[in-house]
Amino acid sequence: MADSVKKLTKEDIKHIAQLANLDIDNDELEAYSKQLTDSLHYVENLEDIDTSGVPDTFFTTHAKNSMQEDVIDESVTLPQEEVLQNAPKKRNGYFVVKRIL
Amino acid sequence: MDFRGISLTELLVQKNNPQDVINYFYNRTKRHNDAINAYLYVDESEPIAKKNRVSSLLNAIPLALKDNILTKHQPTTAASQILSNFMSPYAATITHKLTQAGATILGKTNMDAWAHGSSTETSDFGITTNPYNVAFVAGGSSGGSAAAVAAGLVPAAIGTETAGSIRGPASWSGVVGLKPTYGRVSRYGIIAMGSSWDCPGPITQTVEDAALLLEILAGVDRYDATSINAPVERYKKQLEENKKFTIGVADEYFDGVDKDVMKSVDSSLSRLTKLGHRIKKIHLMHPKYAISVYMLLQRSEVSSNLGRYDGIRYGKNRSYFGQEAQRRIMLGSYALSTGYYDKYYKKAQKVRYIIREDFEKVFQDVDIIFAPTMPITATRIGDISSFSFYGEQMDVLAEPAAAAGIPAITIPAGIDHKGLPIGVQFMGPYLGESLILQAAYQLEKEIQFDRLSVMKKYE
């Protein structure tokens, strides 16, 4: 069974880290490669369980849909300066981001 | 004035001068927090403020909140460097409910960074140590809340659980911990970790206190679409009903459980029989499958939830994530990526469904389920590295109920040969908080766990 699991190489880790916008040091790649591969081996036990009869949708509560009127609740709206209070860079009431184009 | 070991309920009955109570716990906290590092932040202004609504339900009694619960005038860090300077512009629904009920928020408690862990060793701001023996961990991720209550630095605290993070530290620190049904308590304003799992809940000295706080915390919230629209029961009053239950016990939950822990389990079972409950053998799916379900789904949800930390709107940039967060984000990103989604995420979701069905089937035959909370007692600081999948191994008996979204409560049931506390738990059906609270209340009276001795160490 375990043989069917892909080993996550250092290259794979680099790729995943890039997808997740994480900066991983080169000397950590080896450890991550081993740890994440170990995790994938562990979760192989799920293959023991026949899930063919299980529906595709699942949620933790028994609730079906949660609907409410689309109205503004003034008691929870925040003034602009409070929304921006934690931003490291702001200008004229806006968040400042790096140029992306 | 000495309020050591006086429960929240007893403090309310005593009708003390609120300022005396606040001063007592504030002073204890200032004196002893360095020894156990339970608090990340202690409010220096609140304790002497006159603004408390002293006539209301909680009579200004101080409580501590885990530091992933948003507070408006106190910092919230989730024990991560990324949020070390963060001040939330709004409060969590439960913070609001507690202050409306008259609580004084004395401070914010330590935790594993982002609640990723089971020992509070991954906090960016130091380890919380076990009040019983500071060479050991308090458990996690709500380690600060559990240690603060155990050492008597606060009468009660709030934690959050994704899969074991209330019950684990409560068990290892010798206090009561209640994980409600998923959705019973609003998640609005709790720093999201595993959104389909996260449950805030009380960590207290007594079952009665847990019932009292649950009544305040529970209820539907229009700002959490997953909160359950069902009436909040009179949990505290129901404790006196003295109901007799059919209690299920599954061998699958004794696999690899330590000898001392099993002794407490056995003596608890004898006490439950003596109390007139019926013990019934049942079979449940082996908890090891819940580990895999948790590992995949929680990581997937983490990779999504921690995506918002980009250093633009709040917090520092992503280079400040610790290794545990990095590992979880990467595994989650992988499990959700094209080509692996069906094999990992979707498969785990389906097994989660089967875990819930498995519980529902068993609850047709029994009212509640009894089991040890943790397979062993608290580990020594630093021992985390000698286990592969430390958190999963420690939380193995807590994870199935968390996966199914059902309620569970742990109470202290004994002390092992190292002098560390042992916890036992009851699991109940969907919205069956009242049943497990009642059973725990009855058992607690029989056990008469000594919670005072440990507090005497902190004078």
Q: What is the ipTM of this complex?
A: 0.93
B141 is catalytic: yes
Which chain B residue's Cα is nearest to A76? B90
Q: In this complex, is the C-beta atom of A76 within 8 Å of any C-beta atom belonging to chain B? A: yes
Confidence of residue B55 (pLDDT cuts 50, 70, 90): low
Confidence of residue B423 (pLDDT cuts 50, 70, 90): very high
From chain A, the residues in CB contact with B337 under 8 A are 16, 19
Mean residue pLDDT across chain B: 96
Is residue B174 within 8 Å of B132, Cβ to Cβ?
Answer: yes
Is residue B79 within 8 Å of B38, Cβ to Cβ?
Answer: no
CB contact under 8 A, B289 and A46: yes
Residue whose tokens read 């991983």:
A24
Query: Hey, which residues 86-105 in chain B have their CB within 8 Å of chain A?
Result: 86-87, 89-90
pLDDT of residue B29: 96
Q: What are phi and psi of B202, to 5 degrees?
A: -80, 145
Q: In this complex, is the C-beta atom of B429 within 8 Å of any C-beta atom belonging to chain A? A: no
Which chain B residue's Cα is nearest to A29? B327
Mean pLDDT of B135-163: 98
Of B373 and A59, the structure prediction assigns the larger pLDDT to B373
The DSSP element (H or E) to which B137 belongs, if any, is strand B133-137
Query: Which of B89, B331, B346 is closest, CB to CB, to A82?
Result: B89
Considering only the C-alpha atoms of chain A, give the largest distance between any 2 of them, rounded to a whole number of Å: 59
B66 is catalytic: yes
Domains of chain B: 8-456 (3.90.1300.10)
Mean pLDDT of B64-72: 97
From chain A, the residues in CB contact with B342 under 8 A are none
Please tell me the least confidently modeled range out of B21-30, B50-59, B74-83, B378-387. Answer: B50-59
Mean pLDDT of B372-386: 96
Confidence of residue A88 (pLDDT cuts 50, 70, 90): very high
Q: Which of B334, B390, B393, B430 to mutate to test the interface with A (most CBs of A within 10 A)?
A: B334
C-alpha to C-alpha distance for B158 and B177, rounded to whole angstroms: 9
CB contact under 8 A, A86 and B196: no
Residue B265 zone, left/alpha/beta (φ > 0; ψ -120 to 50; rest):
alpha
Q: What is the pLDDT of residues A33-59, one digit of tens each?
A: 999 999 999 999 999 999 999 988 777
Q: Are strands B176-179 and B408-415 parallel, antiparallel or unpaired?
A: antiparallel
CB contact under 8 A, A86 and B315: yes
Q: What are phi and psi of B78, to 5 degrees?
A: 55, 25
Annotated catalytic residue, options B80, B165, B303, B434: B165
Query: Which of A46, A60, A95 is closest, CB to CB, to B351?
Result: A46
pLDDT of residue B56: 81
Query: Nearest 10 degrees: CA dihedral of B414, B432, B214, B28?
Result: 10
Q: Which two tokens stand for residue B247?
A: 């209690």
pLDDT of residue A2: 45
Report percent pLDDT > 70 for chain B.
98
Mean pLDDT of B319-327: 96
pLDDT of residue A67: 85
CB contact under 8 A, B312 and A87: yes
Query: Hey, which residues 12-41 in chain A have their CB within 8 Å of chain B?
Result: 13, 16-17, 19-24, 28, 32, 35-36, 38-39
State which amino acid sits at residue B86.
F
Give me the residue spans of the domains in chain A.
Answer: 1-49
Query: Hey, which residues 42-61 in chain A have their CB within 8 Å of chain B?
Result: 42-43, 45-49, 51, 54-56, 58-61
Compute and round to an integer the Cα radius of gyration of chain A: 23
Which chain A residue's Cα is nearest to B356? A60
DSSP tally for chain B: helices H, then strands E: 15, 13
Annotated catalytic residue, options B80, B88, B141, B303: B141
pLDDT of residue A55: 86
C-alpha to C-alpha distance for B88 and B125, rounded to whole angstroms: 19
Query: Which of B310, B348, B392 is closest, CB to CB, to A46?
Result: B348
Q: Which of A13, A21, A35, A43 to mutate to test the interface with B (most CBs of B within 10 A)?
A: A43
Q: In what order do the strands lie in the sheet with B104-109?
A: B39-42, B104-109, B62-66, B156-161, B199-204, B176-179, B408-415, B421-427, B368-372, B246-250, B278-282
Smallest CA–CA separation between A91 and chain B, in Å? 12
- DSSP code of residue B399: H
Query: Which of A28, A32, A43 is closest, CB to CB, to B296?
Result: A43
CB count in 10 Å sphere of residue B453: 12
Closest by Cα among B25, B97, B109, B32 to B61: B25
Confidence of residue A100 (pLDDT cuts 50, 70, 90): confident
Query: Hey, which residues 382-411 in chain B have their CB within 8 Å of chain A?
Result: 388-389, 392, 404-405
- DSSP code of residue B345: I
Q: What is the pLDDT of residues B290-310, one digit of tens each?
A: 999 999 999 999 999 999 999
Cβ-in-10-Å burial (0-12, 13-18, 19+) of A66 comes to middle
Residue A61 has pLDDT above 90, yes or no: no
Of A92 and A2, the structure prediction assigns the larger pLDDT to A92
Residue A3 has pLDDT above 80, yes or no: no
Residue A91 has pLDDT above 60, yes or no: yes
C-alpha to C-alpha distance for B164 and A44, rounded to whole angstroms: 22
Q: In this complex, is the C-beta atom of A65 within 8 Å of any C-beta atom belonging to chain B? A: no
**DSSP assignment of B151-195, as one string?**
TTSSSEEEEEESSSTTHHHHHHHTSEEEEPPTTTB--TTBPPSST
C-alpha to C-alpha distance for B421 and B175, rounded to whole angstroms: 9
CB count in 10 Å sphere of residue B54: 14
For CA atoms B294, B307, B184, B271, the dihedral sign is positive
Q: In this complex, is the C-beta atom of A95 within 8 Å of any C-beta atom belonging to chain B? A: yes
Which chain B residue's Cα is nearest to A44? B292
CB contact under 8 A, A22 and B329: yes
Confidence of residue A1 (pLDDT cuts 50, 70, 90): very low
